[in-house]
Structure 1
Amino acid sequence: MRRFIVSCLVGLSLALSPLQGALAQTARRADQIRLEPQRPGLTDVYVLSFGLWGPQSVFESEAKGAARVLERQFDAKGRSIVRFNTKRHSGATPRSLLAAAEAAGRALDPAEDVVVLVLTSHGAPEGIGLVAGREARLVTPGDVRMLLDESRAQHRVVIVSACYSGVFAEELADERTLVITAAAADKPSFGCRDGAAWTYFGDAFFNRALRDEARLDAAFDKARGLVTQREKREGFDPSNPQMAGGAQVLERLKEACGAAPAQQAACRCARTAVC
């Protein structure tokens, strides 16, 4: 099993065309997507969740599941966009990614709100793959920076569930950009099985840790332990999930937590260390 998972990544970056050219050629008003407007005086969270690798259904499932959990934890219903590719459907294309980022940019307050970008796919040391029908692209940290800039949000969260995804933490993290990745820049991650509901990291972070702990840093610490335990139990080398940057974002998310009564319970008094 380990040999199969690793072998599916060999040569990935060489087989895919760069995404940036496709983004640059995309019409600026590609698709009109309507999101709930931001609420003045509150920190609203906008979620963009993309399952990029069409040939395997686990990435569709993970993109959908991640968005559901994030919506519940951050009161983001009506402020989320989920796009994915499947064997027969191409929903997460360069055009639709850019359109989603632009839609968030039209709805949010750049200084007040937070955008959360979730990407799940196969990865390579240079980035992650986007396969939509016959279109195959490599999504690099530079491409992700472009999408974040299109959203206009000054406070951003990037969560990448893919092999070698630590490259995104290395290149994008700063005080206003929190980056969480399934693996270090030189490590594969595991669980990309067709038909599975989650990858190993997606299950640990979204499906288990984040359901009970809305503080992203605390949820990450719990998920990293769960992933490491599972990998050791199944004989894999540790993927070493990463979290970097985001000091100002985490403070902003504390303000978002508790904006609605139901959210106060979900966030478990995240404004302080204890309830």
Structure 2
Amino acid sequence: MLRSIVVWLVGLFLAAVPVQESFGQTARRTDPMRLEPQRAGQTDVYILSFGLWGPQSVFESEAKGAARILEQQLGAKGRSIVRFNTKRWAGATPETILAAAEAAGRTLDPAEDIVVLVLTSHGAPEGIGLVAGRETRLVTPGDVRALLERTRAQHRVVIVSACYSGVFARELADAQTLVITAAAADKPSFGCRDGATWTYFGDAFFNKALRGDARLDSAFERARGLVTQREMREGFDPSNPQMAGGSQVLERLMVACGPSPVRQACRCGPPSARSAAC
């Protein structure tokens, strides 16, 4: 009951936040954002991970943990930017988020590389919340589309951990954009408790499923089952996580993993290609 009241109050708060214009035309100069250079002839993965809701530390923790696991599993060491808001620090503002996207855009090969964007926060049917110090705004699918364009990447992955985040799958998914969300467009998700390490979806997808399987699609299927089991066990209406689009992205991620050595084949290859050593 308490959890339902909290979800309702957050939704009411976000509903009162005016939808502002899309992120500004140019990013202001912020802290340096250094990324390892693109390697010609290889598919490199660049990760942008943002914890947007400053008043609760779970979103900082999830943004950090998601980037760390994605970097390890997708071979993206040195190619990630993580920013987050806390009760005392505004590190994921519209300006810094834009700067991160533009840093990736200056570094990657648009046709060859992949950008993975992770957003974790509270959500509403129209988008997700950003609370950075005194700045409060709603980040809409249109904002995220503009952000992806700043990266210049033709192949993108968007992972949104928030209530009602299925709206991003509905608006953004296509063959070149894989969208994974913690909930359907009309469902809340759970586990956003101050002091927690992960939300329910973040724990299932990043911390459990993705640690053992670098294929985003199969990791998602396992995570969806784990989340649903936990929610039903604890008496919650299932959040119904979503995955849509991305057929070309998944093919390119296979290239990024590479066919060898055996360890990579075990982690990244399709079931028919996995070595008996797995």
TM-score interval, normalised by the smaller of the two chains: over 0.9
Q: Does 1:9 align with 2:10?
A: yes
Q: Is the 2:179–2:245 contact (alpha carbons within 8 Å) kept by the matching residues of 1?
A: yes
- SS of alignment partner, residue 11 of structure 1: helix
Shift of 1:266: 6.7
- SS of alignment partner, residue 145 of structure 1: helix
1:72-99 per-position Cα deviation (integer Å, ceiling 9, x unaligned): 0011111000000000010000000000
Q: Is the 2:127–2:138 contact (alpha carbons within 8 Å) kept by the matching residues of 1?
A: yes
Unaligned runs of 5+ residues in structure 2 are none
TM-score (norm 2): 0.93
Q: Is the 2:168–2:181 contact (alpha carbons within 8 Å) kept by the matching residues of 1?
A: yes
Residue number in structure 1 paired with 2:230: 230
Shift of 1:15: 2.9
User: Counterparts of 1:249 and 1:239 in 2: how far apart (Å)?
Assistant: 25
Residue number in structure 2 paired with 1:200: 200
Residues 13, 27 of structure 1: alpha-carbon distance in 2 compared, 3 angstrom cutoff = same
Residue number in structure 1 paired with 2:218: 218
User: Counterparts of 1:272 and 1:51 in 2: how far apart (Å)?
Assistant: 37
User: Counterparts of 1:28 and 1:153 in 2: how far apart (Å)?
Assistant: 21
Shift of 1:268: 4.5
Q: Is the 1:19–1:143 contact (alpha carbons within 8 Å) kept by the matching residues of 2?
A: no
1:41-93 per-position Cα deviation (integer Å, ceiling 9, x unaligned): 11100000000000000000000000000000011111000000000010000
Deviates most, 210-219 or 5-14: 5-14
User: Counterparts of 2:21 and 2:252 in 1: how far apart (Å)?
Assistant: 30
One-letter code of the match for 1:264? Q
Q: Is the 1:2–1:236 contact (alpha carbons within 8 Å) kept by the matching residues of 2?
A: no
One-letter code of the match for 1:43? T
User: Counterparts of 2:271 and 2:43 in 1: how far apart (Å)?
Assistant: 13
User: Counterparts of 2:273 and 2:96 in 1: how far apart (Å)?
Assistant: 39
- SS of alignment partner, residue 201 of structure 1: helix
Deviates most, 6-15 or 139-148: 6-15
1:176-215 per-position Cα deviation (integer Å, ceiling 9, x unaligned): 0000000000000000000000000000000000000100
User: Counterparts of 2:4 and 2:192 in 1: how far apart (Å)?
Assistant: 13
Residues 272, 73 of structure 1: alpha-carbon distance in 2 compared, 3 angstrom cutoff = farther
1:5-54 per-position Cα deviation (integer Å, ceiling 9, x unaligned): 32232323333243535x22554655542211111111100000000000
User: Counterparts of 1:35 and 1:129 in 2: how far apart (Å)?
Assistant: 27
Residues 162, 105 of structure 1: alpha-carbon distance in 2 compared, 3 angstrom cutoff = same
Residues 203, 187 of structure 1: alpha-carbon distance in 2 compared, 3 angstrom cutoff = same
Shift of 1:256: 0.6
Unaligned runs of 5+ residues in structure 1 are none
Residue number in structure 2 paired with 1:170: 170
Residues 11, 243 of structure 1: alpha-carbon distance in 2 compared, 3 angstrom cutoff = same
User: Counterparts of 2:122 and 2:7 in 1: how far apart (Å)?
Assistant: 10
One-letter code of the match for 2:16? A
Q: Number of paired residues?
A: 274
Superposition RMSD on alpha carbons, in Å?
A: 1.9
Residues 82, 262 of structure 1: alpha-carbon distance in 2 compared, 3 angstrom cutoff = farther
Residues 268, 142 of structure 1: alpha-carbon distance in 2 compared, 3 angstrom cutoff = closer
Deviates most, 33-42 or 7-16: 7-16
User: Counterparts of 2:262 and 2:89 in 1: how far apart (Å)?
Assistant: 35
Q: Is the 2:181–2:243 contact (alpha carbons within 8 Å) kept by the matching residues of 1?
A: yes
1:110-147 per-position Cα deviation (integer Å, ceiling 9, x unaligned): 00000000000000000000000000010000000000
Summarize the alignment of residues 47-126 of structure 1 with structure 2, pairs less than 5 Å apart. Answer: 47-126=47-126
Residue number in structure 1 paired with 2:135: 135
Deviates most, 1-10 or 228-237: 1-10
Summarize the alignment of residues 36-47 of structure 1 with structure 2, pairs less than 5 Å apart. Answer: 36-47=36-47
Q: Is the 1:75–1:260 contact (alpha carbons within 8 Å) kept by the matching residues of 2?
A: no
- SS of alignment partner, residue 18 of structure 1: coil
- SS of alignment partner, residue 160 of structure 1: strand
1:207-246 per-position Cα deviation (integer Å, ceiling 9, x unaligned): 0000001000000000000000000000000100000000
